[in-house]
Chain A
Amino acid sequence: MATRFNPSGSVSFDLVRGRVDCGGDHVLISADALVDLCKAAGDEAVSDFGRRIGTAAGRRIADRLGDSASSATLEEVLDHLGGELAVLGLGSLGLERWGRALVLTVDGGPFGQQLDRLLASVLEGAMQRAFGRDCQAVRLVRDDRHVRFLIANAASARKVAAWLGSGLSYGDALTRLQNTAGVA
C-alpha cells in the first residue's frame, strides 16, 4: 500500500544562498510572465516545456510510489499527482471516470483560460514518467476555473478533438467514443 502524499520537505528555500529546491533548482516566477513567455514561444515549445515539468513531477511520484505505482489505486495516484501539481501551483487536480475513459480535471489553475496546452502537457509528461504510458490529454470543456482533459491515445485524441471542433458536446463525444470503441 502506497503512502499518502506528504508535501513536507518538497520545497526548500535557502535564503542564504538564494535558492529554491523542489527536486532540483527552481525559480519562482509570476504566472503572467510565464503566460507571456509561452504565448511568444508557440504551441510546440509550450508542449515541450509542459512535458518537462510533468516529467519531473512524474519522476517524483514514481520515486514515492516505487514498485507500488502499478498497483496504486485511483485515490492514491490522485493524491500524489494532485499533490505534485499543487506544489507547483498549477491548480487542484480531480479525476473522473467516464465509462472506460479517464478524465482529469484541474480546478483553479493560475493561467485562467490560457495555457491549457501547458496543463495538458504537464499531465502527459507526468503519466508518461510515472506510469510509463504515452498518452495525450484532450481538452473537453472548460469554464472560468474548471477544465477537463480526456486521457486517450493519439488517434482517439485527434478524433475527439475533431468531434469537439464540429460542435459536438463533450458528453456526446465521450459517448460516441465509448460506443465506437464497444462496436470495434
Chain B
Amino acid sequence: MNAQEQITKLQGLLERIQKNAAGPRVSAQAAAPMKLAAPAVSPAPPVAPPPVAPAPAFAAAVSSYADDAVDDLLGALPEPSPVPVDIDVPLDSVPPAAEIAAAPSFAPPSEPFALVSSGHLDESNDLDEVSEVRVTTALREPAVEVTVAAIEAEAEPMGTEELSDDDLVEVTEGTPQPTDVDIDFDDDEQPPASSQRSRVASSMDEALAAAAEQAEAEREVPLKTPPPESGPQAAPLPSGLSAPHAPDVDALLDSELDIPTHADLAAAAAGPTAEQLGQTIDLEEARGPTLELAEHRIATPAPSAVEELEVALPPRDVALGYDESLQPPPEAREELDAHRRRLEDDIPPPPESLAQLPSVQPGPAPAIVPLEAAATGPEVIARPAPMGSPESFGMVRDAFRPSTFVELLDASLALDAQ
C-alpha cells in the first residue's frame, strides 16, 4: 500500500468519523456515571473489583489519546470534533443512569456486565471464520481513536489476507444498523471437485449423454448383499450379461435363405468333405510287442470224492409195515382210541373248522356234543330249582296248619335232621 492509498483511506475514514460525530452518540459524560456505578451494581466484594474495573482508566486514556493523535495527524482540520468514544456496551442491558441512581441497591441476578472494549475481542477468530465474506463491525474495533499507526497496524494484516476495502464494513455504536455484508455475486461459483451437485447441461447433446450415463449407473447392481430380513427382492442381474439382442428382421428378409436341396442332403449323407475335415494327420502304428487279452477262465470246482454216508435201506418187508409191538405215546393213546371207536361206530368226525357252518359241511351232520364233553364254551349254570316239589309241600301244608306262632315255632324247633 502506497502513501496515496493510505491518504485516501484516511480521508475516507475521516469523513466517516465526522459523519458519525454528527449523529447521536453516547458521550463520555453519560458514560461516566455508569462507569462509576459499575462497582455499585456489582455483587462482588469491593476488595476484589471485577475485571472491568480498569474501564474508567481506559476511557480516560482513550479520550486523551484521541485528542492528541487526531490533532497531530489531522491538524488541518478546521473544527476538531470531539472524538467519539466507542464503548462496546449493549444498550438493551444497561439501565439508564437515572434508574441506577434511584436504585443503588439493585443487584442484577446475573454476573455484572463487563464494559469490554472491542480490543478485547479476538479478531483472529473472526478472520478465521470468514473466508470469502468479510464482515467488520465497529463494535469489535480495538480502539475508536483513529491514528495512522493504528490504521497501518490494521492495514498490514489486511493486506496479507488480500482483503479489499469493500470487505470492511463499519457499524457505529448507538445507531445499530444492519450489518453490511458484501457478497460478490458476480463471481461464478464453481462447485468443488468433490461436489455431487448435478450440473446443468449446456446443450441438448450433453443432457442426453448425461441421461444415458445416469441410466447406466442406475442399472448397476449394488454389490451389497441385501440382508436376509429385507424380504424378497429381485435377483440381481449378473454383470457382463445382457439380454439377447433382437434379430435384425430387415437383414434377414433381405438375405436369401439357404434351403438345402436333395444334392446337399446326399452329400451330407456321404460324409464330411475334405474342407470340413481339414488337414488329416495319419498316426503311426504302435510300436512294441503285440498284446492280446487272455481269455477269462472260469474256475470249476474239482469233483469231490464220494463219501461213505449212505444208509442202507431197510428190507422190503419192514418198509411196508411197522412193528406190532410198538406202543403209541401216552399223549396220543386217547386220541387213538377215539379214532378207533369212530371207525367202529362209523361216526363222522367233528368239523375241523368252526368258521364253516355245519349245514354246509360235506357229509352227514355232526353229532351234537353234550355240554359236559365240550372243552370250550360258556359254562351254563342252571338256576337252582325251587325247594322240593309242590306235592310234598302241599301234603305238608295240608297236614300242618298252625294257628299260633308258638305252635309254628315249636314245630320248627321240632324238626330234627337226625
Interfacial residues, chain A to chain B (CB-CB below 8 A): 69-74, 76-78, 97-102, 127, 131, 133, 135, 150-153, 155-156, 159-160, 169-181, 184
Q: 7 new A-B pairs (CB below 8 Å) besides A135-B409, A155-B416, A171-B388?
A: A72-B405, A97-B408, A99-B397, A151-B412, A152-B412, A171-B385, A184-B416
Residue interface mask B227-256, A partner, CB < 8 A = 1: 000000000000000000000000000000
Q: How far is the CB of A141 from chain B (nearest CB, A)?
A: 10
**In chain B, what residue has the closest Cβ to A169?**
B384
**In chain B, what residue has the closest Cβ to A171?**
B387
For the complex, would chain A's binding face be called helix, strand, loop or mixed by DSSP majority? helix
Is A177's CB under 8 angstroms from B415's CB? yes
Is A100's CB under 8 angstroms from B418's CB? no
Interchain CB contact (< 8 A) of B387 among A76, A98, A151: A98
Is A174's CB under 8 angstroms from B414's CB? no
Residue interface mask B383-414, A partner, CB < 8 A = 1: 01111110011001100101111101111111
Number of chain B residues close to chain A: CB under 8 A? 27
Residues of chain A within 8 A (CB-CB) of B406 are 69-72, 131, 133
Given the interface pairs A175-B387, A178-B396, the reply to whether A100 lies near B405 with Cβ below 8 Å is no
B319 interfacial contact with A, CB 8 Å: no
Most buried by A among B388, B412, B414, B415: B415
A178 CA to B33 CA, complexed, in Å: 156
Q: Which of B90-147 contact A (CB under 8 A)?
A: none
Residues of chain A within 8 A (CB-CB) of B392 are 175, 178-179
Q: How far is the CB of B318 from chain A (nearest CB, A)?
A: 58
A172 CA to B415 CA, complexed, in Å: 15
A76 CA to B402 CA, complexed, in Å: 14
**In chain B, what residue has the closest Cβ to A75?**
B405
A150 CA to B411 CA, complexed, in Å: 12
B200 interfacial contact with A, CB 8 Å: no
Sample of 9 A–B contacts (CB below 8 Å): A72-B404, A72-B406, A97-B402, A98-B393, A131-B409, A133-B410, A151-B409, A152-B415, A174-B388
Q: How far is the CB of A17 from chain B (nearest CB, A)?
A: 38
Residues of chain B within 8 A (CB-CB) of A160 are 417
A34 CA to B357 CA, complexed, in Å: 60
A98 CA to B418 CA, complexed, in Å: 19
Is A159's CB under 8 angstroms from B404's CB? no
Q: How far is the CB of A115 from chain B (nearest CB, A)?
A: 24
**In chain B, what residue has the closest Cβ to A134?**
B413
Given the interface pairs A97-B402, A156-B416, A156-B417, the reply to whether A102 lies near B387 with Cβ below 8 Å is no
Residues of chain B within 8 A (CB-CB) of A177 are 415, 417
Q: How far is the CB of B246 from chain A (nearest CB, A)?
A: 102
**In chain B, what residue has the closest Cβ to A173?**
B387
Is A73's CB under 8 angstroms from B404's CB? yes
Residues of chain A within 8 A (CB-CB) of B408 are 74, 97, 100, 102
Q: Which of B237-286 contact A (CB under 8 A)?
A: none
Residues of chain A within 8 A (CB-CB) of B405 are 72-74, 76-78, 131
**In chain B, what residue has the closest Cβ to A140?**
B387
Q: How far is the CB of A180 from chain B (nearest CB, A)?
A: 5
A174 CA to B404 CA, complexed, in Å: 21
Given the interface pairs A100-B415, A151-B409, the reply to whether A70 lies near B384 with Cβ below 8 Å is no
Residues of chain B within 8 A (CB-CB) of A71 are 404, 406
Is B415's CB under 8 angstroms from A171's CB? no
Q: How far is the CB of B141 from chain A (nearest CB, A)?
A: 120
